[in-house]
Amino acid sequence: MKMNNASLIVVGLGIKLISHLTNEAKVYIEQSDKVLYLVNEPVMKEWISKVNPRAESLDDLYTKHSLRIDCYRAITEYILAVLRQNLHVCVVLYGHPTVFAQPALDAVIEARKQGYYAKALPAISAEDCLFADLLIDPGSSGCHSFEATDFLVHKRRFDPGGHLILWQISCIGILGHAVGSNQNGLNVLLDYLKKYYTLDHEVILYEASQYPHLDPRITKVHLELLAQAQVSQITTLYVPPREKALFDRSMFEALHTNITDIQ
């Protein structure tokens, strides 16, 4: 049974200041009974508070515990607690609301289980920016996208002949809040990637532009220099395809035969 007087809508601001905000998200931010936000830009925090005086920051919960997973759970629980006050709640996040945004995603899933109307709206993610800025078509040779620590500890299978995107390379293996550089994590990543690519394989350190007047950071380095590269909390590693994938002529011919038969 749906709760008619309460709802949960999770929206994303996109990556670039104001420019990526959709009209749909803006309406929910302005008109909701309560707005909870977790964004990394002071100007956006000010704007949210201005358009909805009932807005509240989740920053304190994000740093409340030493382990990030505990912070995420605390945020999820708080969102649901506010929802149970019989309010129309809007949660505002940086980027896309379900991409590396586990607390809000979990809140939507749990709210639905409890009978509330809950949904997440699409938004521009850092991956969307990466495709555009690096002129990449993920459909050209396939695309693998992994969180860097997950990629390593689970030994994710991937095709070196496709595009490889690794997120959060600045905090590989770190369960708490990342502070400073993480040389060891990059070294471990380099050792693993060397199994699939040559040391002179060119990779890209990428950071999407957060402001309309600034260009994205696109730094090309040989794989062997990855561990010495300067990275920040928003740096993403893009590894271009190693080589063209093998062409399976027998499969092509089988598909061609089927097409002919249909005609």
Q: Decide if domain 126-239 falls under CATH 3.30.950.10.
A: yes
SS3 85: coil
Give the Cα separation of 183 and 231 in Å (integer). Answer: 10
Q: How many CB atoms lie within 10 A of CB 203?
A: 22
Distances in Å between the Cα of 35 and the Cα atoms of 50, 116, 157, 231, 250 are 11, 17, 40, 33, 57
The whole-number pLDDT of residue 137 equals 96
Q: Which of 24, 18, 2 is nearest to 120 (CA)?
A: 24
Burial 142-166 (b: 16+ CB within 10 A, else e): ebbbbbbbebbeeeeebebebbbbb
Q: Which residue in the list 68, 73, 84, 217 is annotated as catalytic?
A: 68
Inter-residue contact 218 to 184 (CB < 8 Å): no
Annotated catalytic residue within 28, 72, 78, 206: 72
Tell me which CATH homologous superfamily contains domain 7-120: Tetrapyrrole methylase, N-terminal domain (3.40.1010.10)
The CA distance from 73 to 102, in Å, is: 9
pLDDT at 180: 54
Q: What is the pLDDT of residue 1?
A: 39
Tell me, yes or no, if 72 is annotated catalytic: yes
Query: Is 197 labeled as catalytic in the residue annotation?
Result: no
Q: Do 126-239 and 7-120 fall under one CATH topology?
A: no
* Listed residue (115, 97, 80, 83) closest to 38, CA to CA: 97
With b meaning 16 or more CB within 10 Å and e meaning fewer, what string describes 48-87? beeebeebebbeebbeeeeebeebbbbbbebbbebbeeeb
Token output for 2: 């749906």
**Nearest Cα residue to 101 out of 83, 130, 79, 116:** 79
State the Cα–Cα distance between residues 222 and 220, nearest whole angstrom: 7
- Note down pLDDT in tens along the chain; length 263 residues: 355 689 999 999 999 988 999 999 999 999 999 999 999 889 999 999 999 999 999 999 988 888 888 999 999 999 999 999 999 999 999 999 999 899 999 999 999 999 999 999 999 999 999 999 999 999 999 999 999 999 999 999 999 999 999 999 998 988 766 655 578 899 999 999 999 999 999 999 999 999 988 999 999 999 999 999 999 999 999 999 997 777 888 888 888 765 555 44
- For residue 263, what pLDDT is reported? 42
Residue 93 · residue 36 · CB < 8 Å: no
Question: Annotated catalytic, 238?
Answer: no
Choosing from 28, 94, 116, 238, the catalytic residue is 94
Which 3 state secondary structure label does DSSP give 205?
strand
Spans of all domains in the chain: 7-120, 126-239
